[in-house]
Structure 1
Amino acid sequence: MNPVDAHTLVPDISFDGGDLDCGNGLLLLIRKHIDPLPRGGLLEIRSTEISVDEDLPAWCRLTGNEFVSWTKVKKQRSFLVCKGMLAERAATPAAVVVAKETPSSVPRPRIPIEPPPIPELAVMGIGSWPRPRWMIEAMHAYVEGRLSEKAFQETADDAVRLAIAAQEKAGVDVVTDGEQRRDSYASFVASRLDNCQLIPLIDLLPLVDDPAEFEAELRALDIPAGEVRHPAVFGKLSRSRPLVAHEVDFARSVTDRPVKVALPGPYLLTRTMWMECISDRAYASREELAADIVRVLREELAELMDAGAALVQFDEPVLSEVVFAGAKNKRSFMCGALSESLGPAHELAFARDLLNAVLDGVPRRRTALHVCRGNWTPDESVALAGSYGPLVGMLAQVKVGAYLLEMCTPRAGEVDILTALPHDARIGVGVVNQKDAHVEGIDQVAGRIRHAIDLFGRERVLLHPDCGFATFADNPICCTGSAQDKLAAIAKAVQTFG
């Protein structure tokens, strides 16, 4: 498209990208400004970078947004982009934006709630549960600004009721809310923190070292990359509303059983949020960013303790990427950890210190750490593999009350190595494989439980699947019926031990 003398349409919002190119943060700034617009909204991007002339129209074609027009006066360029198609503008006037309620920055006072105890051989899910189709549709509408906060939360409440009822029917001892309000197990945090925003993964293609390889990793998700979102930091992080405490509040209102809640760990969040082209405008280093992540997680953890969460689980699957991806000489998409790793020894020590900083002073019995090797596809052949040998020393130094570990899949190695973990910690053992469509037999599951009891003693053993049933909302590993049957298989196997 050739430049015009002047735009014929008036933009709804404008910003100046200066001399940034699409591979140096401009796309992230575009996403920051275009996401709040309704379909049909117009964004003006001002730029002096010549490469944007070609890259921006290509991005528009890739993301389904319409490149409307552009002007050029000497070095100064002005690009007009429509969110979606221009034909939608008449149906959805740009002035009409669905506002999301702004929560108070003052935390609500709480009377601390003491949760019920978690029994020996307790059965639980890891976290996520398959979302109903209508829940996924509501999630997309909310992210795109077409559904209010109130309507979204009411829809999610219904989905949580169904998820908890299914777990209770399966016979679990500890329930989760199924992470029904989350787009994924980790990136949802960006929608709850101040100065952080979810952006489509496709926007990150210009930022990685090998775009072709990254695209291949995205295809392994079996989801269009434009539908998977990644957190981007645009300023100093702060927490003016709960990350997940509201999930615990509602879950406790619909069940009498202990409630577990999962949070992405501080190392995972640091690795996903640190992108030099954008986060370094707010933070001088990833260590400085990590300090703020630790702070907001500690704030959240304190509120979760008061809210009556029986177990707060920190997810750190990227630890597997640190020690196992190198063996394949390739990066793993598994958790969207796009920032560079400085080597296993350095990264493991960094992760240990971050976790201990978050956990410091918190009752250990109510905290847990989950590690797996990737859960974005049921194809076992593309996930990372390796025993806990390279990790067990670091895990043993984390001041956590329980370890909930992937152990059923052959990729995880032998469970015996976990005897090196602290003897005063509980050991959660994966005894069914959520990736396998076949529901394990009661005797098979009981055999795995018996081996765990022999190693750790029944008072220390917790039981669960290897990972969640729907880590990514749009890409569940299995259906609701299969998830319920697998948890029921564990519960029935436990009954054989009296």
Structure 2
Amino acid sequence: MGRRAVPDRVPLLPTTVVGSYPVSEWLERLKTDYFRGRMSYGQLQDVHDMAIKAALRDQEMAGIDIVSDGELRRDNDIDYTLARMPGIEIPETAKDFYFDYYEARLAGPPPEPAGTSPLGLAADLAFTAAQTTAPVKFSFTGPFSLSCRVHDRGGTAQRDLVLAMARVLNAEAHALAEQGAELLQIDEPFLAGHTDQVALAIDAVNVVTAGVDVPWALHVCYGNRYARPSWEGHYDFLFPEVLRAGVDQLVLEFARKGDDDLSLLDRYDWPGALGLGVVDVKSGTVESPQLIAARIRRALGHVPAERLVINPDCGLRNLTGPVARAKLAAMVAGTALVRAELSALHPESQGATP
């Protein structure tokens, strides 16, 4: 830590998304057609390009400061990356529904990086960055969660597999930085279901981020499979291990869970920025700007404004397009209310960023 937690060119209380964006019914059908062998890979990529451009326009029109590609090339939170991981074998690549998980296995020794962009994610960032003038957050699933979907490790210890995957992701992160990445985020959606493995997950995070000098975020949620949490609990399982993570920002959910866990940031003196979840992505109810503003004000009692980033709890994939757009607009409007209040109180602080 010690670097900036967000790109330079954003305002105080920058707004962003966690990563994923809604997948409309027509896109679901086309993706599923591909996984059933009814569409070529080239055709699917054309569809993805169009969908990403639309998602970027939606975010820009809502006033989001740091946008994402909506993770719209990915079938779910695991498989797009896992299927590209060296040494991982997917015996059956067909799926009944695009969002289903593959059954994966380790085909030989633990994976080793191969090439300058071993997973090909740098090309995804290049396409996205070419479509917008806004800063882009680029996210990818972390090595611990990826390992959780490898059901046959062939005798390799989980720790060895996780750290090997982390080295591949580190090579990819270097490629992303070379491509001009302004904010990289590691997602660990499975960690809340394996709270006894936090030390291993943080060890792996530090391998991923090593030597890559860009702002880094770590997103930990309680799962968002079909708009339902996979686990329940509190973020105390992350501490104090997360204090040694080589990241500049923690991205956590608070809208659905409430603010109880904000006190953990005080108790453990978290020194970085907080990506504050203020939008419940598991509910179709659109929050009012006033409710968003109230959630931000409560967080300001624990984290100073210059270290707060405003985002939904998790990805928006399971919401409809109209609901997601309305929630993002409300989030931007609620953030604007608090910015105006802070400007009136401390005009000299405007423009400061984490």
Provide the TM-score with structure 2 as the length reference: 0.84
CA contact (8 A) 1:434 1:465 kept: yes
Which residue of 196, 215, 218 maps to 1:369? 218
The DSSP-based 3-state class of the residue aligned with 1:136 is helix
Give the drift of 1:454: 2.7
CA contact (8 A) 2:19 2:139 kept: yes
Pairing 1:131-170 to 2, within 5 Å after superposition: 131-170=23-62
Aligned amino acid, residue 398 of structure 1: A
What does the per-residue CA deviation read over 1:82-105, in whole Å, with 9 as the maximum and x for residues that have no partner? Answer: xxxxxxxxxxxxxxxxxxxxxxxx
Query: What is residue 4 of structure 2 aligned with on the other side?
Result: none
Give the drift of 1:358: 1.6
Residue 486 of structure 1 pairs with residue 327 of structure 2: yes
Give, in whole Å, the separation in 1 of the partners of 2:99 and 2:294: 43
The DSSP-based 3-state class of the residue aligned with 2:278 is strand
User: More relative contact order in 1 or in 2 (CA 8 Å, sep 6+)?
Assistant: 2
Give, in whole Å, the separation in 2 of the partners of 1:226 and 1:172: 27
Query: What is residue 266 of structure 1 aligned with on the other side?
Result: 143
Quick one: structure 1 residues 419 and 122, their matched pair in 2 at CA, closer, same or farther if it must change by over 3 Å?
Answer: same
Aligned amino acid, residue 481 of structure 1: P
What does the per-residue CA deviation read over 1:61-85, in whole Å, with 9 as the maximum and x for residues that have no partner? Answer: xxxxxxxxxxxxxxxxxxxxxxxxx
Which residue of 270, 281, 284 maps to 1:434? 281
Larger Rg: 1
Query: What is residue 123 of structure 2 aligned with on the other side?
Result: 246
Aligned amino acid, residue 310 of structure 1: E
Give, in whole Å, the separation in 2 of the partners of 1:143 and 1:224: 7
Residue 317 of structure 1 pairs with residue 189 of structure 2: yes
Quick one: structure 1 residues 185 and 284, their matched pair in 2 at CA, closer, same or farther if it must change by over 3 Å?
Answer: closer
Q: Structure 2: give runs of 5+ residues left out of the alignment.
A: 1-6, 341-354
The DSSP-based 3-state class of the residue aligned with 2:298 is helix
Which residue of 359, 362, 366 maps to 2:209? 359
Quick one: structure 1 residues 483 and 248, their matched pair in 2 at CA, closer, same or farther if it must change by over 3 Å?
Answer: same
Give the drift of 1:361: 2.2
Give, in whole Å, the separation in 2 of the partners of 1:130 and 1:195: 31
Give, in whole Å, the separation in 1 of the partners of 2:141 and 2:228: 23
State how many pairs are aligned.
Answer: 330
Pairing 1:380-399 to 2, within 5 Å after superposition: 383-399=230-246
Aligned amino acid, residue 288 of structure 1: D
What does the per-residue CA deviation read over 1:429-456, in whole Å, with 9 as the maximum and x for residues that have no partner? Answer: 1001011111011111101111222321
Q: Structure 1: give runs of 5+ residues left out of the alignment.
A: 1-114, 204-222, 324-343, 471-476
RMSD (Å) for aligned C-alpha atoms? 2.7
CA contact (8 A) 1:131 1:180 kept: yes
What does the per-residue CA deviation read over 1:10-64, in whole Å, with 9 as the maximum and x for residues that have no partner? Answer: xxxxxxxxxxxxxxxxxxxxxxxxxxxxxxxxxxxxxxxxxxxxxxxxxxxxxxx
What does the per-residue CA deviation read over 1:108-145, in whole Å, with 9 as the maximum and x for residues that have no partner? Answer: xxxxxxx6544431111111111233433333343344
Quick one: structure 1 residues 302 and 121, their matched pair in 2 at CA, closer, same or farther if it must change by over 3 Å?
Answer: same
Higher strand fraction (1 or 2)? 1
Give, in whole Å, the separation in 2 of the partners of 1:370 and 1:385: 16
The DSSP-based 3-state class of the residue aligned with 2:231 is coil
Residue 451 of structure 1 pairs with residue 298 of structure 2: yes
Quick one: structure 1 residues 153 and 378, their matched pair in 2 at CA, closer, same or farther if it must change by over 3 Å?
Answer: closer
The DSSP-based 3-state class of the residue aligned with 1:314 is strand
Quick one: structure 1 residues 412 and 484, their matched pair in 2 at CA, closer, same or farther if it must change by over 3 Å?
Answer: same
CA contact (8 A) 2:31 2:98 kept: no
Give the drift of 1:392: 2.3
Pairing 1:34-73 to 2, within 5 Å after superposition: none
Give, in whole Å, the separation in 2 of the partners of 1:460 and 1:270: 32
Give the drift of 1:370: 0.3
Pairing 1:471-482 to 2, within 5 Å after superposition: 477-482=318-323
Query: What is residue 349 of structure 1 aligned with on the other side?
Result: 199
Give the drift of 1:320: 1.0
